[in-house]
A and B are shown apart, each in its own frame.
Chain A
Amino acid sequence: MGLGILIAASIAACGGAAAPSVAPSVVVATPPSAAPTFAPASPASAATESIAPTATPAPSRSHRPLPSIDQTELDAYLTSSITLLDLAEGDLSVVVAYLDTTSGEAIDLGTYDLSSNEQRTDQVPPGTFKLEFRTPGTAKPQACTIEIGDKDAITFVAIEGAVAIGKAGSKPAAIKELFVATSSLCGH
C-alpha cells in the first residue's frame, strides 16, 4: 500500500466519501465539481526560504478545494509530540517515515530541513515512526525507529557527530540511553 494510495484515499474522503468513524472526519471546504487535481510538489521541505520581495506581499489564494478537519476530533487524535532541534554547526535534514505495523511497510512522509539552532515541535498521533538524521560531513545517517505512545513527548537534538534523544518523564540510567545510536527507545 503506497502513500499515493493513501493520499488518493484521503482526497476521496475530502470529496465526501465515508467519513472516519473513529479518527477525525475530513470534509470539503468548497465542494468540487470534479475530482480535485493536485500539482506536482517541489522537493520536500518543512520550511522554505526565498528572497524577500521589496513590498509587503498580499495574501495568496489558490482556487482548489481543500480539506477541512474537525478540530475537536483532531485535537483528540494528536496527543503526542516530536521536537527536533539542530545544535550542530551545519544544517540538519530529518527524513521521516510512518511505519504501518500491520503490513510492515514504511511510508515516506517527507523531509524536514532545519538550520543550526532551529527548533520545532509538532503534535503527532501515536504510532511507529522512522526518523533518519542527516548532517553535512556525516557519511552515514543515524536512524531511529521509535514507537510513540499516547501523550509521549519525544525530543531529538542533533549535535556534532551524534543525535541525542529524550522522552519526557524518562530517567535514563546510562549514557547510551541518551543517544539515538544506542538508545533502547530506538529499534533502529
Chain B
Amino acid sequence: MLSTKLLVAVAVLIGVFAEQCDIKDLGIADFADKVTVTNLNAPGEGEGWVAVKTNHGKISMILPAGKSRTVAAFAATTYSIVVVGHDDDSLRRYTERLYELRDRLQELTITPEASPDAILSAAADLALLETSLAQIGQGGQSCGGKLVTDVTVQATIKSVASDGGTSFWVLDCG
C-alpha cells in the first residue's frame, strides 16, 4: 500500500529538487511555482549576481547579460529576489570566503595528516555557507511578492550607469 508519508515526501521533493523530470508523460513542472529572472543587459554589458528565495529554498547564481534563469519551487507562496553587482562589498566578502574554503578543502584532499583544528575549522565553514549567503545584498536591490498558482513570475534586472560614472542595478519584479 502506498505510504502517504512517502507520497508527500516524493511529491514535495520533486518540486524541491527538480523543476522537471522525465517520468513517463508526467511533467513535474506542472506542479511547480516558478520565478524567471532575466538580465536585460546587452551581451557584454555586465552580469549580475542574483539570489532568489522562496518559502522552502533559495538559490544564488550569476546571471550573464542577455540570459534568463527560471527557478522552480514546489508549493511556495512567496518569493524575494536580490541583485547586486560584483562591486558589492558583501558579495566580495562572500566570494573571498568561498575561495578560501575551496583552497582549504583542496589542500585537505592532499594532506595525509591535518591538525584537528584545521578539520574542525573546515567543517564549521561548511556549516556556515547558508548563513554567509544570507548576508549578501542587504543594501542591494530587492523585490518580492506572492506566488500565484500557475503563474510564472517574470522579473528583470538591468544595470544602469549614473551620471557619476558608476552603475547600479535596477530590479523589476513585474
Contact = CB atoms under 8 A, between A and B. Distances in A.
- A and B: interacting chains: yes
A32 B130 CA distance: 40
B120 A87 contact: no
Contacts of B6: 6, 98, 100, 102
B68 A52 contact: yes
Nearest to B122: A178
Given A10-B11, A22-B5, A57 B36 contact: yes
Given A81-B130, A169-B127, A87 B8 contact: no
Contacts of A127: 9
B19 A47 contact: yes
Interface in A152-188: 153, 155, 157, 159-162, 164-175, 177-179
B2 A6 contact: yes
B26 interface: yes
Interface string B106-142: 1011010010100110110011011001000000000
Contacts of A108: 21, 23
A25 to B, nearest CB: 9
Contact of B14 (A9, A26, A110): A110
B30 interface: yes
B67 A162 contact: no
B8 A23 contact: yes
Contacts of B4: 20-23
Measured as residues with beta carbon below 8 angstroms from the partner, the interface class of chain A is 35 or more
Interface in A110-130: 110-112, 115, 117-125, 127
A74 to B, nearest CB: 6
A31 interface: no
Interface in A27-59: 29, 38-53, 56-59
Given A112-B17, A159-B102, A164-B105, A47 B30 contact: no
A92 B62 CA distance: 15
Contacts of A62: 30, 150
A46 to B, nearest CB: 6
A123 B16 contact: yes
Contacts of A40: 22, 25, 27
Interface of B: 2-14, 16-31, 36, 38-40, 55-62, 66-72, 74-75, 77, 95, 98-99, 101-102, 105-106, 108-109, 111, 114, 116, 119-120, 122-123, 126-127, 129-130, 133, 149-154, 156, 172, 174
7 contacts: A40-B25, A47-B70, A52-B39, A98-B10, A119-B59, A159-B102, A179-B108
